[in-house]
Structure 1
Amino acid sequence: MIKERLAELVEEASDGALTAPEALSATVPLSALGLTSVGQMRLIDAIETEFGVEVDLTEQGLELLDDLDRLATHLAAR
């Protein structure tokens, strides 16, 4: 359920350039599929608002944004 919601947030953050089904089925980093740095910042804002967490802006934290499975696991563990 978290992963599906994250995919919807990716679609919103990318203004539809990357659809939720594309994000869910991604086998490469989301940035390779077109999630731009602006989209990442919008996604961070959406995740922080929706899940009440603070996204770590270090390289390691930003890498989570490229992989929905890792991101969903990380959020579920909080």
Structure 2
Amino acid sequence: MHYKRLNITFPSDLANQLRKEIPARTRSQYIANAVKEKLYKEKNLKKELIKSYKANAKLYEEINKEWETVDLESWPE
């Protein structure tokens, strides 16, 4: 695997906690794993939301139709 050096900044309290909790020679791997996990979760969340919206599209359409008259009544002419 190829590695690339990055210069990043952290809030002081988070940097201090990282230094305290994670040994010096393992911090890069720890941060890489945390970022990888976060990206994976965000990617899967987007996929799950899209899947859910598609699966429930008909239900959402029916709900919108039920409220359409109420929405239109509240607008002044």
Q: Normalising by the residue count of structure 2, what TM-score does the alignment of the two structures yield?
A: 0.23
Q: For the pair shown, which has the larger CA radius of gyration, 1 or 2?
A: 2
TM-score (norm 1): 0.23
Higher relative contact order (CA 8 A, sep 6+): 1
